[in-house]
Amino acid sequence: MSLDQAVVSQPHLSVETIAPCYFHFNFIVTPHQRIIRGFNEYLALIAANRSQLPQFDHVFNACAMASLSQQAADGRHLRAKALESYTSALAATSAALWDPTQTLQDETLASVLLLALFENITAASSSLVAWYSHIEAAVRIVKARGSKQLRTKVGSDMFVAVRTFMFCVRTAELNAHVSELLASISRTPKDMDRVKDVIQQCHSLDQHFVRWTDAVPEEFRWETVDWQVYVPHDDYTNADVFPGRVDVYADSWIAIVWTMARWSRIVLLSVLVRATAWLHLPKDYRSTQEYATAARLCTETITDVIASVPYQLGYVSNPHKSSTKTRQSGGKRGDSTVQRSMTAVFLAWALNGLQSQDHVTEAQRVWIKGRLNVIGTHLGIGYGTLLAKLNIRVPSMLIRRDRLLSKLHSLSSVNTTTEDEPTIQPADGSSPSTNADQSATQKQFLERRVTELLASAMGKKPEVDEWTVRTLLQLPKDVGGT
C-alpha cells in the first residue's frame, strides 16, 4: 500500500453537526473537579431525553448556529439559517404558551430561556425589547409552575436561571420599588417616613452583604496574583488588564457569584443615594454623609469587580492550575477549562452596571467599554457590543428622573384636587383659567426637562433605541419623548 493510499482524508462535517457541539462546549458546562457548579445543565438533560416538542429543537439549533456564526468564516450563511430556526421556534413556542398542557412543561420554559439567549448572542437590533419580553415570559411560566418545579434537577436549575436573569433586568426588587415610590409621593411627613424606611432597608441589606463576605470560606475567596502597573500608550480600550490588582478564583462560577453580589451592592448603594437625595431636597445630596460613604464603598467594589474581569475573560489563570502570568493581547485564552461564553453573558450585564456608575473614572469607563466590545466581538455575545453604546449615568440621572417625576406627580395631584372642588374666584383677581394655564406651562416645562434627560442618556449620536434607554431610566411611556 502506497503512502498516498494510506492517508485517510479528513471527514467532512456539516455545520448542522458542528454547531451543537460548539454550542455545548461554550454554553453548557457540567460540574467536575475544577467546576463546582455548571451552566445550563438542564439543556443537556432535555436534549438527551429527545424532546417531543418542536420548539425546543428549533431554538436549540438556532442558538447553536448563531453562536458558531460569530466565529465561522461563512457567518452570514449561518446567521440566516439561525434566524430561520429562530422564527420557527417563536411560532412553536407561542403556540405552546396557549396550550395548557404544554405551557408548564420543562421544554417550554427551556425554549423561552433559549430565545432570550439567542437575543444575547445575536443582538440583531439596537434594542433590548426582545430579550426583555422573553425573560418576562419565563418569569410568568416559573410563577405558574409553582414549588413543584423545585423537586427535579431540571426544574430547579431553570428556576435559578430565571432568577439570575431577572436580576440582570431589575437588579433588585428594592430598586424597582424605590423608582415607583419616589415618582409618586409628596413631601408629607408620612411620605418622608417611607423614604427613611427605604434608607434603613438599604443599610440593613448592606450589613447582610458585609456579614456574607466575612463568612465566606477561604476556598471561595479570590487570590491576587499580579499587579498591573500601567497600560502602554494609555490604550485602555484594548488593554486586557486595568492598572491595579489582578485576582483569580477557584472556578468561574465562584467568580460570577462574587461579581453578581458586588453588583447588587453597587445597586443598593445607588438606591440609598437616590433616597437620600430626595429626602434632603433642595440640598445638594453630594454634601451628605450618606453620599460620601456610598461613594467610597462603590469605588472599592468597582475596583474588586475590575480586578476579577481578566480571570473571567480568560486572560489569566488560577496559579494552582497553571501559569499565573497574565497576557497582554495574544491568544487571550487563559484557562481552557473555563467556558467563557456563558460566563460572559453574566459579566456583560455587571460591566454595564459598572460603566454607568458616577463613581467610575473615565479611564475605567473606557476600559470597561473595551471589555464589553471584546465580549461582543470575540466571545460571540452580541449584547456586549450593544451595552457598550449606552451612555447612562447612575445615580445622578436617576436622581434627576426622580425629582422631575415627583414634581409632575405633585402638579397632577394639585390639578386633580382643583377639578374636584367648586370653582372659587381667587383673592388676587386671577381667573381659574389663568391658574390652569400656569399648571399646563409648568407641566410642559417639566416634560421638556424629561426629554432633555432622555436625550442626554442617548448621547449626541444615538446608537441605542429610545425604548431601551427609557426602560433603563425607568421613565413612563407617556412622559417626555424625542
Q: Whole-angstrom Cα distance, residue 410 to residue 414?
A: 6
Residue 430: per-residue pLDDT: 54
Q: Whole-angstrom Cα distance, residue 51 to residue 267?
A: 40
Q: What is the mean pLDDT of residues 171-190?
A: 80
With 50 as the cut, is the pLDDT of residue 332 above it?
Answer: no
| CB-based contacts of 269, cutoff 8 Å, min separation 6 | 202, 206, 294, 297, 298, 301
With 80 as the cut, is the pLDDT of residue 317 above it?
Answer: no
- The model's confidence at residue 295, banded by pLDDT at 50, 70 and 90, is very high
Residue 38: per-residue pLDDT: 60
Q: Give Cα separations from 137 to 93, 133, 143, 164, 409 (angstroms).
A: 11, 6, 10, 14, 31
CA max distance for the chain: 114
3-class DSSP state of 89: helix
Alpha helices in 28-151 (DSSP H): 41-48, 54-69, 75-97, 100-103, 106-122, 129-145
Residue with cell 439561525: 82
Q: Whole-angstrom Cα distance, residue 121 to residue 103?
A: 25
With 60 as the cut, is the pLDDT of residue 326 above it?
Answer: no
Q: Would you put residue 429 in left (φ > 0), alpha (ψ -120 to 50) or beta? A: left
Grid cell in block for residue 24: 455545548
Residue 482: per-residue pLDDT: 56
With 50 as the cut, is the pLDDT of residue 329 above it?
Answer: no
Give 408-451 pLDDT, tens digit per residue: 887 776 555 545 455 555 555 555 567 677 778 888 888 889 88
Give 227-276 pLDDT, tens digit per residue: 999 899 999 999 999 999 999 998 887 888 899 889 888 989 999 999 99
Top-confidence residue, 304 or 467: 304
Q: Give Cα separations from 68 to 23, 36, 168, 380, 431 (angstroms).
A: 7, 27, 25, 8, 70
Alpha helices in 123-183 (DSSP H): 129-145, 153-170, 173-182
Q: What whole-number percentage of the chain has pLDDT above 90?
A: 33
3-class DSSP state of 231: coil
Top-confidence residue, 323 or 411: 411
Top-confidence residue, 302 or 218: 302
In our burial notation (b when 16+ CB lie closer than 10 A, e otherwise), range 418-436 reads: eeeeeeeeeeeeeeeeeee
Q: Dihedrals φ, ψ of 338, to 5°?
A: -100, 115
The segment with the largest mean pLDDT, out of 34-38, 125-129, 301-305, is 301-305
Q: What is the mean pLDDT of residues 447-462?
A: 86
Q: Give Cα separations from 99 to 105, 312, 439 (angstroms).
A: 10, 41, 50
Burial of 238 (0-12, 13-18, 19+ CB in 10 A): middle
| CB-based contacts of 369, cutoff 8 Å, min separation 6 | 237, 355, 388
Top-confidence residue, 44 or 289: 289
- Residue 253 identity: W
3-class DSSP state of 142: helix
Q: What is the mean pLDDT of residues 118-130?
A: 76
What is the CA 68 to chain-centroid distance, rounded? 23
With 80 as the cut, is the pLDDT of residue 340 above it?
Answer: no
Is the CA virtual torsion 405, 409, 410, 414 positive or negative? positive
Q: Whole-angstrom Cα distance, residue 446 to residue 407?
A: 8
> Lowest-confidence range among 67-71, 284-288, 320-324?
320-324
Provide the residue ranges of all domains of the chain, joining segments of one domain with +: 13-165, 185-316+339-390, 401-416+434-481
Residue 301: per-residue pLDDT: 96
Top-confidence residue, 365 or 47: 365
- Residue 424 identity: I
Give 62-94 pLDDT, tens digit per residue: 999 988 887 776 778 888 888 999 999 999 999
Q: Dihedrals φ, ψ of 32, to 5°?
A: -155, -165
Nearest to 133 by CA among 153, 158, 160, 112: 112
Residue 306: per-residue pLDDT: 97
Residue 187: per-residue pLDDT: 85
Nearest to 159 by CA among 69, 287, 151, 322: 151
- Residue 2 identity: S
